[in-house]
Amino acid sequence: MKVIDVQTQMTTEKGAMFSKDLKDFFEVTFKTTIPYYQTEDEMINVFREAGVKVVFCVPEPQNFDQMAQTGDYMAKLKSDYPDVVYGSWAPYNFAKFTDIDKYVVELEKYIDKAKSFGVFYYGAATGVPANDKRFLPIYQLCNDKKVPIKISVGHTAMGAGTPGGSGIRLGTERPIPNVDDVAAQFPELNIIAAHCPWPFHSEMISVLVHKANVYNEVHGWMPKYFPEELKKEINSRCKTKIMFGSDYPFFSFDRIIKGWEDEGYKPEVLENVFYKNAERVFGIEY
């Protein structure tokens, strides 16, 4: 079956998201091997062999020059491998990019240059929820550019099992009010909640049912571990709202695609999850 993966990480030296310490932590957590570093051709061949087209997450830039360089890199990947690379999520560094007006200018350049989608905001990493009024100019730009954004939700592996969770606060990951507020303020902005939303899955279902402009890609968990309430809604009220995210290289494509197929979802539901919902939201064809 066709697959569009809206949560894929790169394994090239320029695209790798993690330091060695974080790489080692995630390898232990997910019981996997992260193949740092591959060449661009080696990485792309993994996706081709799996029959997957991807939207990349990108490393967090430390300054605007680095953000521009990342934009150049993503534009080249999209140009060199159009059969595999749909695009990327635009980066944001909360600690470094405190001048929001300046960031909005650079973000517009990035979206245009890299032909990317909108910003991917990960509140757990900053301690600031996505509905903070400081981010309104960012969302307004993405709304004006007609590009979707991603906002993280649910329990996160970052800091899990460490004292104090390494300072990570899970309250930023609640769909209500954090995603719901943004969706209400920007009804024409497509918002993709990122991650399996447990333990806030009931809130996520409520937002998906209530807000026509909100979707959920459920990366980070094998489908068999999804809460039963979420599984039921994927097969019914939320069948046009859920998208596939592999979180590769934490999960291999063979493993997670089979995991979806083994759950007994209706064929039309799997088609929606694997590619049709993404096509609809992104305005693209496979």
- Angle 111-51-121 from CA coordinates, rounded to 5°: 30
Residue environment code for 57-92, b if the CB has 16+ CB neighbours within 10 A, otherwise e: bbbbbeebeebbebbebbbebbeebeebbbbbbbbb
Predicted local confidence at residue 285, as pLDDT: 65
Q: What phi, psi does 169 have (nearest 5°)?
A: -110, 125
Strand partners of residue 151: 121, 193
CA distance 55 to 4: 8
Q: What is the number of structural domains in the chain?
A: 1
Predicted local confidence at residue 12, as pLDDT: 96
Three-class secondary structure of residue 264 per DSSP: coil
Structure tokens at 128: 């600031």
Predicted local confidence at residue 286, as pLDDT: 53
CA distance 77 to 80: 5
Predicted local confidence at residue 22, as pLDDT: 77
Predicted local confidence at residue 30, as pLDDT: 77
CA distance 142 to 146: 6
Instruction: Decide: 90 and 110 in contact? Cβ < 8 Å.
Output: yes
Q: What is the pLDDT along the chain (286 residues), one digit of tens a residue?
A: 899 999 999 999 999 987 777 778 778 877 888 888 999 999 999 999 999 999 999 999 999 999 999 999 999 999 999 999 999 999 999 999 999 999 999 999 999 999 999 999 999 999 999 999 999 999 999 999 999 999 999 999 888 888 999 899 999 999 999 999 999 999 999 999 999 999 999 999 999 999 999 999 999 999 999 999 999 999 999 999 999 999 999 899 999 999 999 999 999 999 999 999 999 999 876 5
CA distance 157 to 161: 9
User: Could you list the residue range(s) of the whole structural domain that residue 63 is in?
Assistant: 3-282
Local structure of residue 90 (DSSP, 8 states):
B
CATH classification of the domain holding 141: 3.20.20.140
